Structure 1
Amino acid sequence: MSAPIPYTQFDPTSYLLLTPEDSDAPARVARLRELGIGDTPVPEFDDFARELARITGAPYAMVNFIDENRQYFAGLYTPGEGQSGVELDPQQAQPGRVMSRDHGYCPHVIVRRKALVLEDVCDYPRFAGNPVVDEIGIRSYLGAPLIDHTGMAIGTICVVDQEPRPWGRQGLETIKSMAAQLVEGINQRDLGLRR
């Protein structure tokens, strides 16, 4: 007769809300330092985020770099009252540029190394409990990883909305194409730094 299996308490929802483990974070931080990005706003990334918002029709767009503990939006576009977008001071980080690593969906994208389309985050138990749903009112997300020429996933680009959005296949193709475009610029920047 076999020994009884020890009882362990199981919470079926506990795994749903966890931010994925990111074993590449230390190497990513070192890579971002080499590139000189990830700690301050970059005007070109703000311009890119503005264009990404325009192309997708989303009210918010980000170029995001993630370390062990936080996310930093080196490129950010947000709507302003009566404006097409908020102009941010590129010389210093403004409130809203930093978010905890356990908030949002970009940490999932960077670990998965694949684009993520959430037309309504509330349709996905794994993502519906994320703090950004209740704290910011995020209802839809579209993001893709930035994988540079070294093969490192160095960051993400994303758009979000406070309403469900039917991103569809066109949205997926757009975000992947835009990520490839930004990666090309980052690779060029890297080659320029090495010269």
Structure 2
Amino acid sequence: MRYDADSGLHVDNWHDTAEQRRKLLAEHGLDGSPVAKLDQFATEVSFGFAAELGDPGKRLWAMVNLFLPKAQTFAGLHNPPGARPVDRTMAPDHGFCPEMLDRTKALVLADVWDKPQFASNPVVDRLGVRTYAGAPLILGDTVVGSVCVVGTRPMPKETRQTSLTLIKQRRDALLKLLDQHNPATS
């Protein structure tokens, strides 16, 4: 556990909930391997965001991210054509999705450069990430992953609320898809 000075509470960290996350994911038949349905879902998220933001030509990566004990893994991934491809795994402290372990709310960053704690993240330099929208995947009371979209151009600030609504809708659709993918309920 770590101490959160803002709340004055001790909160779980990446390692504290690792075994619980692993068990919940296993119950849904997920081990971090790529899943064709989730790749398709990520593609739909990318295209949906691009259309909603009024720029179908936008290069947006989209991921269904699972938080495994020692890494993040993208069970669903959309690499936009012509963009630098993203690997299926990433260190637990890279990107913006690990923020979801510490919160249970969606996060939209219209321009990651506006927030120093996010501007220094390794993915900013590696991929040129400028915008992010993500929502946590919560099974029971545990955050097991996220659905997110990232892009190389900042989004107009007036689209922030639209992006927040859209990523929450996509998260809710993904949770339904995961329930259908759950071998225990099939």
TM score, norm. by length of structure 2: 0.81
Question: Is residue 160 of structure 1 aligned with residue 153 of structure 2?
Answer: no
CA separation of 1:121/1:95 partners in 2, compared to 1, >3 Å: closer, same or farther?
closer
Partner of 2:176: 184
Report the alpha carbon displacement of residue 111 of structure 1 after superposing the two structures with TM: 2.5
Partner of 1:125: 116
Q: CA RMSD in A?
A: 2.1
Higher fraction of strand: 2
CA contact under 8 A between 2:49 and 2:163: conserved in structure 1?
A: yes
**CA shift digits 1:74-100 (9 cap, x unpaired):** 00001123xxx99xxxxxxx9710111
Partner of 1:39: 32
Percent identity between matched residues is: 39
**CA shift digits 1:28-78 (9 cap, x unpaired):** 012112222132110000010010001101521000001232110000001
Mapped partners of 2:165, 2:185: distance in 1:
32
Partner of 2:128: 137
Mapped partners of 1:21, 1:124: distance in 2:
22
* Unaligned stretches of 5+ residues in structure 2: 1-11, 51-58
* Unaligned stretches of 5+ residues in structure 1: 1-19, 87-93
**CA shift digits 1:91-142 (9 cap, x unpaired):** xxx9710111111000102331210111111100111111111122111110
Pair member with larger Rg: 1
The number of equivalent residue pairs is 164
Given candidates 47, 56, 62, the residue that maps to 2:49 is: 56
Mapped partners of 1:98, 1:162: distance in 2:
20
